[in-house]
């Protein structure tokens, strides 16, 4: 650990950052027999919960290859509003029905559930279902929502805003911790800038933010999970960036994987198959 630089030291002196940068603080987040920050931890599942057929059987297959938690959005933030109902009645997620399907999948597979809360009005319902509450990129600095999840006892997966600077990441963690919830996990998921591949790979929207992993390590011992799906936007790039994130020191991964990737209602271009996911787990020595 290097000596903290003056900028961070000043923030600490002003009581703006204390808990998030306190190396004496030991995160104590136990999920499904694993300790975050100590054990390799992999969250996987589809971008969205779509149907019973899609999520329930697949959750068991994910558990069987060693995944530690099941992800799936029931409330989906779509970049453009979706007005029409799609396949299986999906419209920016299945909402409460999606939560019920996640609960069924948990029952069937034994995997804890990671799902996103988009709006503070849905938090108490989502809190009844989720084992790990995801704050998405778009809400990274939604302070009302951060204050509310800070009052809960469930772990929070805080995804980095695509614009977030390192002190803003720490500040958002601090806000949750300051409200009382110390079970914060940072999830890096790619940032704005340099989409210099986009004319050739149109689904790439963000640039991988791998160097933020060692940078955060210099300032905090909050566990760091890397999302190689949103940060690449393209299925063939998920495996190499996943491996790079682990090499850079990430404590685990959050990956989108779908039983039929090309049929995925949302984020189809970055969805990987079970086989590809298994290959990634093998390559990072995940057990």
Could you list the residues that contact ligand PEP (CB under 6 A)? Answer: 47, 73, 77, 116, 136-137, 159, 189, 230
* CA–CA separation, 251 and 228 (whole Å): 13
* Contact (Cβ atoms closer than 8 angstroms) between residue 159 and residue 137: yes
Nearer to ligand PEP, 21 or 231 (CB): 231
Q: Which stretch binds Mn ion (CB under 5 A): 7-15, 59-67, 138-146, 263-271?
A: 263-271
- Backbone conformation region of residue 135, classed left if phi is above 0, alpha if psi is from -120 to 50, else beta: beta
Provide the minimum distance between the beta carbon of 116 and ligand PEP in the complex, in angstroms, as a whole number.
6
Nearer to ligand PEP, 17 or 190 (CB): 190
- Element holding 9 (H helix, E strand): helix 6-13
What angle, rounded to 10 degrees, do the helices at 96-109 and 52-64 form?
A: 30
CA dihedral 167, 171, 173, 176 (to 10 degrees): 180
Which residue is it, tokens 């790990």?
A: 132
Query: Rg of the chain's alpha carbons, rounded to an integer?
Result: 18
Provide the minimum distance between the beta carbon of 119 and ligand PEP in the complex, in angstroms, as a whole number.
14
Nearer to ligand PEP, 116 or 209 (CB): 116
* CA–CA separation, 45 and 55 (whole Å): 8
Which option in ligand PEP, Mn ion, none does residue 240 bind, with CB closer than 5 to 8 A by kind? Answer: none
Which option in Mn ion, ligand PEP, none does residue 286 bind, with CB closer than 5 to 8 A by kind? Answer: none
Q: Among 98, 267, 271, 277, which residue sits at the site for Mn ion (rule: CB under 5 A)?
A: 267
Nearer to ligand PEP, 22 or 51 (CB): 51
**Per-residue x/- marks for Mn ion, 25-54, CB under 5 A?**
----------------------x-------
Residues found near Mn ion in the complex (CB under 5 A): 47, 267
């Amino acid at each position: 650990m290097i000596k903290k630089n003056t900028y961070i030291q000043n923030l600490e002196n002003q009581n703006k950052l204390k808990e998030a940068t306190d190396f004496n603080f030991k995160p104590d987040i136990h999920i499904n027999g694993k300790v975050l920050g100590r054990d390799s931890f992999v969250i996987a599942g589809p971008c969205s919960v779509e149907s019973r057929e899609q999520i329930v059987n697949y959750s068991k297959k994910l558990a069987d290859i060693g995944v530690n938690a099941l992800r799936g959005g029931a409330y989906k933030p779509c970049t453009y509003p979706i007005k029409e109902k799609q396949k299986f009645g999906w419209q920016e997620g299945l909402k409460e029905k999606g939560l019920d399907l996640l609960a069924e999948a948990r029952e069937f597979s034994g995997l804890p559930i990671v799902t996103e809360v988009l709006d503070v009005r849905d938090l108490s319902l989502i809190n009844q279902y989720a084992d790990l509450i995801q704050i998405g990129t778009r809400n990274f600095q939604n302070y009302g929502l951060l204050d509310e999840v800070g009052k809960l006892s469930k772990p929070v997966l805080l995804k980095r805003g695509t614009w977030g600077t390192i002190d803003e990441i720490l500040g958002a963690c601090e806000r949750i911790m300051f409200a009382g919830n110390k079970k914060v996990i940072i999830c890096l998921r790619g940032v704005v800038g340099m989409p210099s591949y986009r004319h050739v790979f149109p689904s790439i929207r963000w640039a991988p933010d791998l160097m933020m992993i060692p940078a955060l390590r210099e300032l905090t011992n909050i566990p760091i999970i890397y999302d190689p799906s949103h940060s690449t936007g393209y299925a063939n790039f998920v495996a190499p960036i996943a491996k790079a994130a682990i090499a850079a020191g990430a404590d685990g991964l959050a990956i989108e994987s779908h039983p039929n990737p090309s049929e995925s209602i949302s984020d189809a271009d970055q969805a990987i198959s079970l086989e590809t996911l298994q290959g990634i787990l093998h390559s990072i020595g995940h057990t």
